[in-house]
Amino acid sequence: MTAYVLTVKCASTRGIVAAIANCLADQGCNITDSHQYDDPLTGNFFMRVSFTSEKGVGVEALRGAFEPVAATFGMDWAIHDASHKTKVLLMVSNFGHCLNDLLYRWRIGALPIEIVGVISNHMTYQKVVVNHDIPFHQIRVTKDNKPQAEAQLMAVVEETGAELVVLARYMQILSDQLCQKMSGRIINIHHSFLPSFKGANPYKQAYERGVKLIGATAHYVTADLDEGPIIEQDTVRITHAQSPEDYVSLGRDVEAQVLARAIHAHIHQRVFLNGNKTVVFPASPGSYASERMG
């Protein structure tokens, strides 16, 4: 049986859930997982439904059958083939903890994505990437060549058909124009000390202030630097006994985990934009399972 995911966003009103369930049942589909949320402040309704087609109805036929329901409620909707692997382009600079973590999760099937390439402004991880049989693109970025560098980046996006760009500790600021063009398609990761501790060594600043929690935030990239809609966050507790180097090491771990969880949520259509916030539904049963151990 083919598995699908239906995502819906519309104004909240009576009868939406019933209409969706009835439509899927009429097409011989069985709902296997479902989550919904009514935002009382915005009046928006969000729903994610996992289902299987027990009669072998194809995705185009399902979309055609659902169109009248969507029109009735003014839905922003999509039906996704659950077997589709999102094409992902990774970007990295000189910190490789997130890149290496994502490559491992991809290799064992814990992140069911298709990595179509890695872009870096350095050569540090060229050998690592090539050894995984993934195309590596070095695009140097300076103050003088930034427009040309971003044009090269977009050329790679278009050539590879990348559906998602992940800034896996890519230490360059993207232009407003690029952020707008790729809205909702770029995920970034950074420590959660902002705006308190800025600059090149935030962990040392946090140590000097006796910070007791280290966190990381994964969010969609917007023109507002590090202020896009948040997808995932987490923290790790620190004691007075930890050194500045401990802070950095613990920070690396939480960054890698948070970024992987954010990507997992995005590729499984669990994230809905709600203004400058997000609605993130829980993972469906079995979606964290790996194909192999290592």
Q: Where residue 45 sits, what CATH number does that domain have?
A: 3.30.70.260
Percent of the chain with pLDDT over 90: 88
Look at residue 283 in the predicted model and tell me its pLDDT.
Answer: 96
In a domain? residue 287:
no
Q: What is the pLDDT of residue 71?
A: 98
Looking up residue 236, the CATH number of its domain turns out to be 3.40.50.170
Is 288 inside a domain boundary?
Answer: no
Q: Which pLDDT score is estimated for 171? A: 92
Q: Which of 30-39, 50-59, 152-161, 223-232 has the lowest mean pLDDT?
A: 223-232
* End residue of a domain, out of 51, 81, 111: 81
65 and 93 fall within a common domain: no
Helices and strands (H, E) in the chain, number of each type: 8, 13
> How high is the pLDDT of residue 292?
81
**Do 34 and 48 form a contact (C-beta atoms < 8 A)?**
yes
Number of structural domains (the chain) is 2
Buried b (16+ CB within 10 A) or exposed e, 173-186: ebeeebbeebeebb
Examine the domain organization and report whether 121 and 6 are in the same domain: no
Indicate the DSSP class of residue 143.
Answer: T
Query: Domain end: 62, 81, 100, which one?
Result: 81
Which pLDDT value is given to residue 221?
A: 95
Same domain, 59 and 155: no
pLDDT of residue 143: 87
Let me know whether 6 and 128 are in one domain. no
Specify whether 138 is located in the same domain as 158. Answer: yes
**195 lies in some domain:** yes
**Which band of pLDDT confidence, cut at 50, 70 and 90, is reported for residue 196?**
confident
Confidence band, pLDDT 50/70/90 cuts, at residue 176: very high
Are 108 and 245 in a shared domain? Answer: yes
Q: What is the pLDDT of residues 254-280, one digit of tens each?
A: 999 999 999 999 999 999 999 999 999
**170 or 206: which leads in pLDDT:** 170
Residue 226 is a catalytic residue: yes
pLDDT in tens, 96-109: 999 999 999 999 99
* pLDDT of amino acid 294: 62
Specify the pLDDT at position 236.
Answer: 94
User: Same structural domain for residues 47 and 176?
Assistant: no
Given the residues 26, 81, 144, 226, select the one marked as catalytic.
226
Are 33 and 106 within one domain?
no
How much is the pLDDT for 195?
Answer: 62
pLDDT in tens, 67-82: 999 999 999 999 999 9
Q: Is residue 145 part of a domain?
A: yes
- Judge whether residue 124 has pLDDT over 80: yes
What is the pLDDT of the chain when averaged over all its residues? Answer: 94
> pLDDT band at 123, cuts 50/70/90?
very high
Q: How far apart are alpha carbons 281 and 47 in whole angstroms?
A: 9
CA–CA distance, 280 with 266 (Å, rounded to integer): 9
